[in-house]
Amino acid sequence: MGTSGSQRSAGILASQRAYYDERAPDYGDATVPDRAQGPGGLLGEDIARRLVAEIDPNGDVLELACGTGIFTRALARHARSVTALDASPRMLERNRQTGAPSNVRLVAADVFDWQPDRQYDVVFFGHWLSHVPPDAFDRFWALVAACLRPGGRAAFVDEDDRASAYDDCTIVDGTPVALRTLRDGTKFDIVKVFWDPDELAARLAALGWTAAIHRADECTLVGIATPNRSN
């Protein structure tokens, strides 16, 4: 990708950050849909709890792109500690106001511009991987590996390729881009990669991870991945 391509890519990531920060006040409100049609990617607290229980995240957990905290609160029921990171101040404020448990520490940071100062037993991300552009995929997983203690694992929940029926993506410099509209009509580009579980597992295998990924519920995938070498 040339300079203009990387600038466009950086522009989409900035738009994605801005969208979620603006969207934070009504994020999760079913009367303000995420997109024009389809089931929407937002999970209820009960489903989040069930999916997290399946993952069984013990020890010290890092949650990337935590949002309003649907998964943060579920993770905190299992973990010794949860460090929950997000780029949006308004998402973090909602996470805090919704009653982040005492074992949760909230961190404001851009995933693509952040380095860990310690390692974790589990790195979790809910509805985030689909927002990682293809040209940042390897770099993102290198970060996840760097965040894990030896023996640690990554766990994730996201929409899968079945949800692509409800979105209209265009490809910009190799990145699938979807449109999101706020209640006031303001439009934003966001990255949206709809993964097929087998293709995702193969992609991770090529990066040195062993991943078990299965489909759950309507349009949702759940994955657990461990690095093949100790970090």
Ligand X SMILES: C[S@@+](CC[C@H](N)C(=O)[O-])C[C@H]1O[C@@H](n2cnc3c(N)ncnc32)[C@H](O)[C@@H]1O
Which positions touch ligand X (CB under 6 A)?
A: 13, 16-17, 20, 65-68, 70-71, 86-88, 91, 110-112, 126-128, 131
Instruction: Return d(Cα 178, Cα 158) in angstroms, integer.
Output: 16
Q: Which is nearer to ligand X, 123 or 205 (CB)?
A: 123
**Cβ-based nearer residue to ligand X, 86 or 208:** 86
Q: Mapping DSSP to helix (H, G, I), strand (E, B) and coil, where does residue 186 land?
A: coil
Closest approach of ligand X to the CB of residue 130, in Å: 8
Terminal CA-CA length for the chain: 30
Least gap, CB of 184 to ligand X (angstroms): 18
Collapse the DSSP code of 105 into the 3-class scheme (helix H, G, I; strand E, B; otherwise coil) and give the result: strand
Question: Least distance in Å: CB of 70 to ligand X?
Answer: 5
Q: Which is nearer to ligand X, 110 or 138 (CB)?
A: 110
* 208 DSSP 8-state letter: T
d(CA 117, CA 224): 23
Nearer of residues 183 and 230 to ligand X, judged by Cβ: 183
90: Cα separation from own chain's centroid: 17
Decide if 70 contacts 28 (C-beta within 8 A). yes
Question: Min. distance of Cβ 214 from ligand X in angstroms?
Answer: 18
